[in-house]
Structure formats: C-alpha cells, structure tokens
Amino acid sequence: MTASRRYLLVSPCRDEAAYLRRTLDSVAAQTVPPALWIVVDDGSTDETPAILAEYAQRLPYLRIVRRGDRGRRRVGPGVIDAFYAGLDTVQIEDFDYLCKLDMDLDLPARYFELLMKRMESNPRIGTTSGKPWYTDPQSGALVPEICGDEMSVGMTKFYRTACFKEIGGFVRQVMWDGIDCHRARMLGWIAESVDTEDIRFIHLRPMGSSENGIWTGRLRHGFGQYFMGTSPLYYMAVAVYRLPVYPRLTGSVAMLWGYLRSWLKGLPRYDDTEFRRFLRTYQHNCLRKGKRAATAELNDEQAHIWNASHPVSVAAVSGPALSKANHGGFADGSVR
C-alpha cells in the first residue's frame, strides 16, 4: 500500500516581493504538490500582497492569511507567531507531514517527494530537510551554508506530524529551530538535514541577514544559543569553526558577544532544566568524539524511548531496516 503523502506548508512572510516569485514557482513545480499551502502575510508594505493574490488565482492549494502591519519584520518569536496564525486555521491531524517554509527559497522539483520518501524509509526520522546554498557576495559562487547534519534547517523544517505534536510544536523564541530538534531527540526521534544534489536548495538571502543585517543576525544567534542553554565551551568551538565564514572574523565575534552580553545581563533562559542538561551532555560529547559520532551514539541510546512509544511502527520494520532506523539512515544519506 502506498503511504499517504498529504503535506501542509505554512509560510510566514513580510515584504518578500524580491524573492517571492522564485519560491512560489518552485513550489508550483513540485512533483508532489502540497495538500494545502498557507501563506501568512505578516503586514507586508511592498508588492507581496499583490503577488500572492495573483498566484492564489492559479494554485488551488494556496490560501492567504493576512495580519495587520506590526511595523517591521520580526524574526524569532515574531516569525513563529505568524506561523501559528496560519497553523491554527487547520487541524494538523488532517496531514501526514507539515513544513514551516520560508519565502526566500528556490527548491528543486522533487524536494518534497524525496523528503517524504526518505521518511517513509525510516519511521524514526521525525524532521528532515535538504541543505541551503547561497551566492557568496565576494566570489559570486554558490557555496553551502554551515548547517549541522543533526538539525533540519529553519527555513524549510519538514516534520512528520506525529513528531511535531509530540515535541509540543515550536518555542516562540529566537532558537526555536534548535530547541525543536534537540527535543525530538530527547523523545527518541531522529532530526537531520541531508546534502545531496537532488534536495539541495538555494537560499536567496543568507541565513541570519533578514533583520538589520548580518552583524545583528549573528548577535541574535549568540543570544539564542544562550537562551537555549548551549555550553559556553561548545559555543566557543562553534565560533572558531565559523571564523572563515562571511563576514569573516566579525561574524564569529558578534556570535560570542551576543552570548556573553546575554550572560552578563542575566537574561532568562529556556525554562527546562532537563532539556538543558540533555543538551550540554550531548554538546560535550560532540567536543570529545566529534559531532557525527556523538549524534549516532545518542540516536542509538534514545532508540528504546521511540520503540516503546511507537510499537506499531516497530512491528512494521524488521531486520536491516530496523537497524537503519535506529542508526538514522544509510551513511551516504541515500534513500533505497
């Protein structure tokens, strides 16, 4: 029997006229179209409403939700508020998958088909994505954004609906797109992103540059990591690793200052001590063993939690397939 592939897209957007048509056209060209696509216009003041109205006449699955003008683009909690303004208009149980999709992306035609195929091959994968590439402002070449394999990326978070419900959805704070993946792992799910050519996509605007420039975006990242509970030692290692990434040196400095400034101010942190303990144990293991080995080890350790709460799924998978499910898929990232 063919697995059901009803998927929901929810796209918060504001003043995206420069990129909007590329995203709309790339979704319209998908080999498996969405059952429903809700675009939440979060008070746009440019040509975004007119472009959305034009495409709504052509795409039967496209629905527009309009919100009042809040004065400016609001990343982090503002984006998630807009996301829920769309999600709350439907019953998510009507869909097998859901995706928070940004409107500054160019997706390959088989993107969602292949993500669903990958998840069908491994019932433990709760959230997945391809990897973003962008045009380097200095060389003009397409280069990959740095995104860990243990996270689905925030601009196209594709979720199994059951996993999304189990983690309680997204936290309305800057680091929502990190907390969700770690919480999924706590519950035994696998979170991942995969960089293969057929699901590699173009990010038309570099990550962290959408509000007040890249410097502010990196400061915001530092605060977000502080809020989530990231280990200071681990975050220093991340900043060093990102030194060659544009803007070279200054981006890493901004990240560290954002974290340190938040600590000096005594800003509140994510109020879940068990989560923060789980996170830091994992991060310190990454420093000792490397992220790939630490993630594989953690996925193995957490398998019993998922197996106990999903007995029907476990019964349907046996032998090599069950081993693959517990280890997070094939080493080359392929779907077979």
Residue 320 has a pLDDT of 47
Q: Say if CB 171 and CB 179 are below 8 A apart.
A: yes
138: confidence class by pLDDT, cuts 50, 70, 90 = confident
Q: What is the mean pLDDT of the chain?
A: 90
pLDDT (mean) for 37-53: 97
Rounded to an integer, the average pLDDT of 242-263 is 91
**Between residues 208 and 64, the one the model is more confident about:** 64
Q: How many CB atoms within 10 Å of residue 83? A: 23
pLDDT level of residue 157 (50, 70, 90 thresholds): very high
Q: What is the mean pLDDT of residues 141-169?
A: 96
The pLDDT tens digits for 175-220 are 999 999 999 999 999 999 999 999 999 999 865 555 567 888 899 9
* Over residues 236-242, mean pLDDT: 94
Report the distance separating Cα 160 and Cα 191, nearest Å: 11
If pLDDT is split at 50, 70 and 90, which confidence band does 336 have?
very low
Cα three-residue angle 74-267-231, rounded to 5 degrees: 100
pLDDT of 323 above 80: no
What does the pLDDT look like over 88-137, one tens digit per residue? 999 999 999 999 999 999 999 999 999 999 999 999 999 999 999 998 88
- What pTM value is reported for the model? 0.89
Cβ-in-10-Å burial (0-12, 13-18, 19+) of 97 comes to buried
CATH of domain 7-203: 3.90.550.10
pLDDT of 80 higher than 70 = yes
What region does 64 belong to: left with phi over 0, alpha with psi -120 to 50, or beta? Answer: beta
Query: Where do the CATH 3.90.550.10 domains begin and end in the chain?
Result: 7-203
Euclidean distance between CA atoms 183 and 168, whole angstroms:
9
- The per-residue pLDDT for range 20-42, each reduced to its tens digit, is 999 999 999 999 999 999 999 99
| Res. 332 pLDDT band, cuts 50 70 90 | very low
